[in-house]
Structure 1
Amino acid sequence: MFGQTPADCPATLATIDKGSLSLLVVKTLGEIYQELGCRVRFMPYPGRRGIASFNNKQVNGEVMRIEKVERAYKRDFVRSSVPLMMLNSSLWQHPDSLAKADLPIGYTLGIIWQENYIKNKRGRKFSNAQELFRAYNSGELSGFLSADITVKIQVENGEIIPRPIQKQTVISAPLYHYLGQEFTPFMKRFSDLLQREDRFGYISEF
């Protein structure tokens, strides 16, 4: 415990709904918050709903975002000085690419890098990754966009069939933790802890 009063603590954080990577990060982030003397509640939202909820002050921050999302924030914010991890994400292709070539690419609505990539391409949007993977499993997609670690976890769990082929790396960028600017003192403590200890490195080992 670092001795801060409850008023110093963010109470609610938006997280991407039904994302396997989000579930891993939330578990570790909750443990860190507890060590810093704070109890936090995670609010699952579709991608853009999390941004809107932060802008409307319905939540105190977002669990993790790439830096490009900052242009969508309409309130003052503070970013962790240390990234939680690197996000490596790709276009994943159905192994029978010739048979599936005329089908759309699946992407998750509200994930900024995916929305940027899919512009001027034939895409099909989904509200969350689980819906996207179900459509892929049903043979409705030529491929999909996803974080590499998410695909690895889902394949190992038997949730993505058949195993997709990594066709193209689309983005490699750091993921940061975001809070409203009023939580700057807490964010400094949070960042100091991450500078001392890499708490999220284990995720890359999955």
Structure 2
Amino acid sequence: MAEVYQNLGCPIEIVSLPGRRGFSAFNNGTIDGELYRLPVGAKNYTRSYVQSEAPLFEITNSLWVKPGSKRHSDGPTGYVIGVAWQEAYLESNNLPKSGHRDIGDMIGHYNAGTFDRFLAEDTNIVAAIRDGEFGSDNVPVQLEVLNAGPLYHYLGTEFAPFMERLSRYIITHAPFAHEGML
């Protein structure tokens, strides 16, 4: 997205924030927008906003388990604190949980045997597997896709003219412009 903004002649500073803090920072004007968010998250905006016309990409979120794990477990499920869909899933299924500050911390505890299952966005785990972050006998397997959806870009309404330009760009330029995304 930094390159897209640069191509459109708009400087951008990208700040990494946990999910809930992103809502707060956007609502109080500390940040001008959010790079990507599921549309359901927009209900947490109290500040008026505009959404990109097309999604930037689609994600899937899954339950990942250690090979050989049983479908159900009395043990805790790893998750990242502050990730709303993970917290909601654990709460609605009344599951024991093991909360972690970020995905790296969660992977470390999985590798240490603290739990044999965890919740995560799939591309993060595919990348961690590719990068060798799991032991060869400990590579998790995707047990169940829990949800999937498109991620859109959000900005405060004062940036509506820019959002129109950005939307045109993502509709017509790779990697955004491909079948199934529009």
* TM-score normalised over the length of structure 1: 0.79
Are 2:73 and 1:101 aligned?
Answer: yes
Pick the structure with more helix per residue: 1
Higher relative contact order (CA 8 A, sep 6+): 2
Q: Tell me which stretches of 4 or more aligned residues in structure 1 moved more than 6 Å.
A: none
Q: Could you say which residue in structure 2 is the equivalent of 1:44? A: 16
Identify the residue that residue 152 of structure 2 maps to in structure 1: 176
- Does the 8 Å CA contact 1:83/1:174 hold for their aligned counterparts? yes
Unaligned runs of 5+ in 2: none
Alignment root-mean-square deviation, CA: 1.8
CA contact (8 A) 1:48 1:109 kept: no
Pair 1:191-2:167 in alignment: yes
Match of 2:126 among 145, 152, 160: 152
Contact in 2 for aligned 1:47/1:109 (Cα 8 Å)? no
How far 1:201 sits from its partner (Å)?
7.4
**Conserved? CA contact 1:102–1:142, under 8 Å:** no
Deviations 1:133-179 (A, max 9, x none): 11111111121111111111100101133110111101110011111
Q: Take 2:53 and 2:115, find their aligned partners in 1: how far apart are those partners?
A: 38
The TM-score with structure 2 as length reference comes to: 0.88
- In the alignment, structure 1 segments of 5+ residues that lack a partner are 1-28
Corresponding residue for 1:137? Answer: 111
Aligned residues: 173
Find the residue that maps to 1:38 and give its secondary structure: coil
Instruction: Report the 3-state secondary structure (helix = DSSP H, G, I; strand = E; otherwise coil) of the residue aligned with 2:9.
Output: coil
Deviation at 1:200, TM superposition (A): 4.4
Identity %: 36
What secondary structure does 1:52 align onto?
helix
- Structure 2 Cα separation of the partners of residues 68 and 54 of structure 1: 16
